[in-house]
């Protein structure tokens, strides 16, 4: 009897080690979906020229042969202000007709309602509405160099922004820290270096002093005023001020009063991005506000500060 159990155990072990034991082929039908237009239009009060890159969605199990297949040519788009047609978009060029451009007659007005409408013969019409947030006040702003200890015994810079919140109104703020870099090219005729390009890149924020601040799109810090309605709020962020650049580069701080839709989209975008890096976390859906489409339309009040 012992020999019988031994032979049975060895047989099961050998079968378990075979490839067929661990794999199985299952045929499933691709889930149905609706073809939709997709674009992201993130605007602010400083914008004058608008570009929309029109794309489309694909099914979960569909194979996209070429990168260009994502783009949708032949679409139309219009921007309405307080119910009146305001801007009609035109194709960028014959070869880039999937990019639509428009020039604003004037800056976006706080409190005004704007609606984006897009259409294509092969897709349902898309629309989204946003009300421009009110202007806001920044009492003061400063960066304290090497102010707080880092995780590895080094020192971090500390950004402090003092915001004066408007009472009785739901406000959502976003603070992003950028660094401006300069490219130089040596001119042998003069023996000097000339600035040829200027570009800005988001700095890696290590954390925020307020646990209610959350990371969002572009490494920005998001906070709603539900805990400080009508009061002065001190936003604090810890970051490496000199990483990846020379000492003469400039720190740029973008402070924005954003809409609730943008706030939801930015949080869900960051959460979805982080979930893709962790196979143990369930996928997170990204918020969108395009009716009959996929993407986000938002308008913010923005202030820029150079340090």
Binned at pLDDT 50, 70 and 90, residue 4 comes out as very low
Query: Shortest CA distance to 262 belongs to which of 233, 301, 234, 236?
Result: 301
Mark whether 116 and 146 lie in a shared domain.
no
Which domain CATH number covers 110? 2.60.40
Mark whether 112 and 144 lie in a shared domain.
no
Q: Is the pLDDT of residue 10 over 60?
A: no
pLDDT > 70 in the chain, percent: 86
Where does a domain end: 87, 112, 131?
131
Mark whether 96 and 174 lie in a shared domain.
no
> What would the pLDDT profile of 171-227 be if each residue is shown by its tens digit?
999 999 998 877 777 777 777 776 666 778 888 899 999 999 999 998 999 999 999
In-domain check, residue 189: yes
In-domain check, residue 307: no
Residue 254 pLDDT: 96
Query: What secondary structure letter does DSSP report for 166?
Result: P
Residue 299 pLDDT: 98
Distance CA 259, CA 296 (A): 11
> What would the pLDDT profile of 90-125 be if each residue is shown by its tens digit?
999 999 999 999 999 999 999 999 999 999 999 999
Average of per-residue pLDDT values in the chain: 87
Query: Shortest CA distance to 143 belongs to which of 156, 130, 158, 132?
Result: 158
Where does a domain end: 71, 101, 131?
131
In-domain check, residue 26: no
Mark whether 226 and 204 lie in a shared domain.
yes
Taking a C-beta distance cutoff of 8 angstroms, is the pair 223, 173 a contact?
yes
Phi, psi of 261 (to 5 degrees): -60, -45
* Bridge partner residues of 49 (DSSP): 103
Binned at pLDDT 50, 70 and 90, residue 69 comes out as confident
Mark whether 45 and 76 lie in a shared domain.
yes
Where does a domain end: 95, 113, 131?
131
Q: Domain span at residue 197?
A: 137-258
In-domain check, residue 236: yes
User: In the chain, how many domains are there?
Assistant: 2
> What would the pLDDT profile of 17-40 be if each residue is shown by its tens digit?
555 555 677 666 666 778 999 999
């Amino acid at each position: 009897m012992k020999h019988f159990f031994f032979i049975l155990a060895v047989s099961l072990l050998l079968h378990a080690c075979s490839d067929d034991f661990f794999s199985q082929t299952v045929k499933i039908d691709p889930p149905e979906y609706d073809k939709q237009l997709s674009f992201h239009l993130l605007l602010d009060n400083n914008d004058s020229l608008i570009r929309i890159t029109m794309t489309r969605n694909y099914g979960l199990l569909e194979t996209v042969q070429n990168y260009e297949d994502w783009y949708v040519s032949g679409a139309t788009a219009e921007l309405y202000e307080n119910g009146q047609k305001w801007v009609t978009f035109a194709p960028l060029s014959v070869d880039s007709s999937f990019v639509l451009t428009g020039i604003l007659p004037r800056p976006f007005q706080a409190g005004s309602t704007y609606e984006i409408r897009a259409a294509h013969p092969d897709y349902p019409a898309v629309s989204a509405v946003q009300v421009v947030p009110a202007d806001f006040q920044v009492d003061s702003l400063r960066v304290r160099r090497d102010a707080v200890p880092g995780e590895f015994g080094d020192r971090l810079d500390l950004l402090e922004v003092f915001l004066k919140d408007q009472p009785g109104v739901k406000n959502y703020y976003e603070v992003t820290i950028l660094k401006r870099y300069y490219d130089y090219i040596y001119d042998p005729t003069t023996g000097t270096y000339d600035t040829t390009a200027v570009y800005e890149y988001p700095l890696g924020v290590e954390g925020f002093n307020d646990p209610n601040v959350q990371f969002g799109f572009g490494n920005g810090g998001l906070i709603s005023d539900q805990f400080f309605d009508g009061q002065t709020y001190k936003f604090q962020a810890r970051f490496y001020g000199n990483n990846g650049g020379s000492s003469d580069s400039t720190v740029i701080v973008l402070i924005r009063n954003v809409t609730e839709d943008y706030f939801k989209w930015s949080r869900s975008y960051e959460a979805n991005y982080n979930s893709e890096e962790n196979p143990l976390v369930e996928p997170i859906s990204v918020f969108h506000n395009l009716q009959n489409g996929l993407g986000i339309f938002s308008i913010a009040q923005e202030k820029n500060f150079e340090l």
